Amino acid sequence: MDLPAAVILTAWAAFVTYYIAKKTYEYALRRGRSNNSAVYLSRKVIHFLAGGLVAFCVPFAFHEPVVPLLIAAILSIAVYMPHRTGKLLYWFQDPENSYEVDFTMMWGLIIFLSWFIDPSFWLGVIPVLFMSWGDGITGVIRNFVYGKRVKGAYGSLGMLAVTLPIGMTLGYFGALAAVVSTVAEKWGRIDDNLLVPAISFAIILIGYLYFPALSRDLW
């Protein structure tokens, strides 16, 4: 039952990665952005339109967790192999890191694990949206405000403005997860694509299992 949706969403993620992101990179260069800035913006387009949008569709498109995990595995291999071969997808891959591999792996792992606790998938989708949309918007803001990769306050405020309303759909612990993951993104010393979803998922899971009365939609 889930395979048609899997094919469509995988094709969409590939289209975003190989076409829309590349066009974003080329447009940014034409507008006078540096190569690093253009690469960074291209990566955030993938965050929003591939990682975030596909994650949002998961609860509506899938009935079990194996197929979403397979999607993430396929995409992880697809973005890892250019690093392995040295033939980088230049419009979004950075030779100095392979954080996009962390992104796709955490996307699949968090959504996979969440299903065994709550088959609606939302316990996993919300942390993935923090990573995709929250961390995505902070990168865009910082890129335009500072013109380089730097973790400034404006980007953190942008991330909180995105993640807090999303987190509130899972109550006080969802809101707490939004705040803590924003702080972790700003001050953490490891890849945000690992830190943000892991921390937020842990907080949301604690609330769901031990404080259900505080894990209800605040809207």
Please report which helix (H) or strand (E) contains residue 82, including its range.
helix 66-85
Task: Provide the number of structural domains found in the chain.
Answer: 1
Q: How confident is the model at residue 180, as a pLDDT?
A: 97
Please give the chain's pLDDT, 219 residues, in tens.
Answer: 899 999 999 999 999 999 999 999 999 999 999 999 999 999 999 999 999 999 999 999 999 999 999 999 999 999 999 999 999 999 999 998 999 999 999 999 999 999 999 999 999 999 999 999 999 999 899 888 877 667 778 999 999 999 999 999 999 999 999 999 999 998 888 899 999 999 999 999 999 999 999 888 887
d(CA 6, CA 61): 8
Whether 152 is in a domain gets the answer yes
Whether 200 is in a domain gets the answer yes
CB count within 10 Å of CB 77 equals 12
Provide the residue range defining the domain that includes 22.
Answer: 3-214
Q: How confident is the model at residue 144, as a pLDDT?
A: 85
Q: How confident is the model at residue 148, as a pLDDT?
A: 65
Which long-range contacts link 53-57 to residues 24+ away (Cβ below 8 Å)?
53/12, 54/9, 54/12, 54/13, 55/107, 55/111, 55/125, 55/128, 55/129, 55/132, 56/125, 56/129, 57/5, 57/9
Q: How confident is the model at residue 1, as a pLDDT?
A: 84
Whether 117 is in a domain gets the answer yes
Whether 72 is in a domain gets the answer yes
Whether 197 is in a domain gets the answer yes
Q: How confident is the model at residue 152, as a pLDDT?
A: 77
Q: How confident is the model at residue 120, as a pLDDT?
A: 95
Whether 192 is in a domain gets the answer yes
Whether 219 is in a domain gets the answer no
Tokens of 161: 């403005």
Q: How confident is the model at residue 50, as a pLDDT?
A: 96
Whether 106 is in a domain gets the answer yes
